[in-house]
Amino acid sequence: MGKENNELKRDLSSFQMEMIALGGTIGVGLFMGASSTIKWTGPSVLLAYMLSGLVLYIVMRALGEMLYVDPEVGSFANYASHYIHPVAGYLTVWANVFQWLMVGISETIAVGVYLDYWFPHVPGWVTGVVVLATLTGANLVTVKAYGRMESWFSLIKVLTIVFMIILGFLMIIWGIGNHGHPLGFSNLWTHGNFFAGGLKGFMFALSIVMTSYQAIEIIGITAGEAANPQEAIVKSIKSIVARILIFYIGSIFVIITIYPWDKLDQVGSPFVETFARVGITAAAGIINFVMMTAAISALNSGIFSSSRMLYTLAMNKEISPKFLKLSKRRVPEVAVLAISGGVLIGIVLNAVLPLIWHDSSKIFVMVYSASTLPGMVPWFVILWSQIKFRKEHPELLEGHPFKLAFSPFSNYFAIAALIVTLVFMTINPDTQIPLLIGFVFLLIMGIYYMITRRHKN
């Protein structure tokens, strides 16, 4: 198969790249999971989001520096193979596939739960299969169709968050929704210690917050199909990090300012309550719709991202060349169908296991959480690869408009922050088993690589 027949179509705009990254990063965790991290550490959760945001910024600037010179499909996996070791690239690809497969299965089932709000008599697996088939079709048509669909999904989430932040500040400063009495900012310090859970609670929360930013590196995968890669990369990375930090930190700030952090467990969803307090009586339905689109969006991003990673494995001759097959519209159809098939198996297992094993739902949650460690692998390899990239190609840095500041010291800081986060995850009883599952998966794939490579040699 000639190279020209293996080239994916470059059809994504910088706006679509940004929306795809937003779609993968802003998920249901922000809408429903905010209460959990706040309970762990109180108002200092804001610092956890800021610190994680700094790590996020360093990772994305390191990725952007390399992408500007070499925008390719499966970018950070290819960088890992070239600058670190082929096994690093191999594990990065499989880590990404594993992460998105688990997220995809979970989000498909979540869609069924959200649709149950309006269609209580339709089985969740039925709606899950319908949504999966629709998104698979969109991913098979053209990358432009995928980008357009993902842009709309992400836009719904973004507008909801922006609207919620605006309503929150109106309530805090002018008392709208609170009978004209401004709430002020006293809830930030009048309900106990700023670091309510001490250092341990803060670090436990940090581990969860850090993982909430995962998937933003999907920009590195979309770069291989961008219409004007260099221009799109610079524009997308500059804006996406700022937007995500505003959305996350802005939302959390509004929540802990409006509601006493130690009573959030009595509120339910802070997003629903914020809309309801200003008189939007359909708040529950609105947020349910937004969370449904968030789940669909995450699944959509997962199919795109992991299918391109399978394509990268085939390009590197690590799996069957059948995964290189492109449709007439330059879409890796076999890879897309393979990922969708994996998600479909998960949907079937989720429907069958409760009939056999009553605790299967808990096991599924653990498997979903197991994507945390594999989700961090791309960040590690991006930071490490960029250090080696600079050493090997100092000539490419002359006149480079998008360099990472203070490298390699900023890289070392981010790597240390990720390692500390993982250490505290081993201490936290809630994250020990999921972390172990992710580690075992990576270990098995590493051993498999070594065995198969030895046979090839």
Structure tokens at 453: 């490579």
Per-residue pLDDT tens digits for 15-46: 776 776 666 677 656 665 676 788 888 899 99
Q: At which residue do the structure tokens 């959480």 appear?
A: 369
Contact criterion met (CB below 8 Å) for 351 and 116: no
Question: Long-range pairs for 129-136 at CB < 8 Å and ≥24 separation?
Answer: 129/344, 129/347, 131/296, 131/299, 132/108, 132/299, 132/340, 132/343, 132/344, 132/347, 135/296, 135/299, 135/300, 135/303, 135/340, 136/303, 136/336, 136/337, 136/340
Q: Across residues 93-111, what is the average pLDDT?
A: 83
Q: Which residue has the higher pLDDT, 17 or 451?
A: 451
Top CATH class of 3-456 equals mainly alpha
Helix (H) / strand (E) containing 242: helix 229-258
The pLDDT value recorded for residue 2 is: 39
Mean of all residue pLDDT scores within the chain? 82
What per-residue confidence (pLDDT) applies to 3?
A: 42
The full length of the chain comes to 457
Select the more confidently predicted residue: 325 or 110. 325
Task: Please state, in angstroms and rounded to a whole number, the distance separating the CA atoms of residues 306 and 304.
Answer: 6
Question: d(Cα 385, Cα 348) in Å, to the nearest integer?
Answer: 39
Smallest CA-to-CA distance from 194 within 362, 344, 46, 14 is with: 46
DSSP string across 180-207: T----SGGGTSSS-SSTTHHHHHHHHHH
Is-contact 153 23, C-beta < 8 A? yes
Query: Average pLDDT for residues 51-64, to the nearest whole number?
Result: 91
Parse the chain into domains and list their residue ranges.
3-456
Phi, psi of 12 (to 5 degrees): -95, 135
- pLDDT at residue 51 above 70? yes
pLDDT tens digits for range 389-399:
999 999 988 88
